Amino acid sequence: MTLTETLINSIDKQGMQKLLRGFYRQIEEGVEISKSFPKLYSANQVTSIVLSGLGGSAIGGDLVRSYIADEIKVPFLINRNYTLPKFVDSNTLVIISSYSGNTEETIASYKEAKKRKAKILCITSGGEVLNFANKQKDPVILIPGGLPPRAALGYSFFPLLFALGKMGFINVKKKDVAETISLLKLNSSIYGNIASDKNIALQLASMLKNSLPIIFSSSDKFDVVNLRWRGQINENAKMMAYGNVFPELNHNEIVGWESIPQIMQQSSIFILRDEEDNSRIQSRMDITQNILQPFAGNVTEVFSEGSSLLARIFSLIHLGDWVSFYLAMMHKVDPTPVTKIDYLKSELSKIQ
C-alpha cells in the first residue's frame, strides 16, 4: 500500500499526526508550566519518592525516574497499582499522576497515601484527582487536557523534571532541554514527510507491517523507551509487541528462539542502541544479533541521536511514536481511539 496525505487524513480522523508534528511545542509548553509551580516541598524532607499512575500517565514519571537515576539520592519507585508499598509514610513524596484525573487505580492509591500522611504532589488536567486535591489543599501541577494520555508525554515528563529540580532533588540541565526541543523539531519535519528518503520512521514501520515487533534495549536508561515503543505500537497500531532488556535476555530468551521457526520467522527484532550503553552491553548486543539473525525475520539496529542523554532518550521516543503511527496507517486503523480500554473502564464502572 502506498501512503498518501489524502489516505492518511482519511484514516487519522482524530489528528494523531498533528500531535506528533507538534510534540516539540508541547515540551516548550511543559517548560513554561514549570515557571508557575505551586509551593512545593524540600528534598531534605523526603526519604523516598513514589509516583502512582497507569499507562500514558505513568510513562512520563517512569522516564524521569530512569533519566535521573544516576543523580537522585533517594529511592524513586513507579507504582502502577491500586495500593502503595508498605514503606510509604510521612517522609515519602507520593506523586499522583493521572492525565484525566479519573484513573481509578491512581485515585485509590491517592486516598491511601493520605491515610499514610504522605507528602502529595498531583499532576493532572482535572477530574476527580483535581477536585480531591483542591479539597485536601495538596499542590497540583495543572496541565492542559483534551489529549490521549499517551500523546501528552511532554506535559507529564518536563513539568515533573523541573519540579524535582525546584525541590532540590536534581539539577535540571536547561541546555539539554533546549537541544531536545531543537532535535525533535527537526526530526518531526522529516518523519512527517512521507516523500522523504530520510524518513526512517516510515522505513521501520514498513519492516514491521506484517510481523511481530520485538524490541530489545539496555536495562538502565532505555528500558522505559523500550516500554514506550511497545505501548505505542499496542495503542496506536492495534498490534501486539514484545520486548526485553540486556543483559537479562541473554540468560534465558536467546535459547527460546530455537523452536517453532514458523513463528520466529514472523518476528522482527529492533535493538535500540545508544552510544553510552555499557561496553559489555554493547558487546552482548553485537553477539546476540549474530545468534538470532538466522531465527528472526530480520534484526535491525536503531540508534539514538543527539549529544545529551535527554535528547538521545527523546530521539528514540519520538521515532517510536512515528513508527507506531505509520503502522496504524498501513493497517488502516485510526491511531487515536482505544475502544477496548474504554469498554473495560465502562464495565468496571458497573462493579462497586
> Catalytic amino acids?
235, 251, 345
Phi-psi region of 126 (alpha: psi -120 to 50; beta: other; left: phi over 0): left
Residues in the chain: 352
For helices 56-67 and 309-330, what crossing angle results, to 10°? 150
The answer to whether the beta carbons of residues 224 and 236 sit under 8 Å apart is no
3-state helix, strand, coil in the chain (%, to 5): 50, 15, 35
Pairing of strands 119-124, 140-142: parallel
Buried/exposed 82-111: b ≥16 CB within 10 Å, e otherwise = eebeeebeeebbbbbbbbbbebebbbebbe
- Dihedral over alpha carbons 275, 325, 204, 176 (to 10 degrees): -20
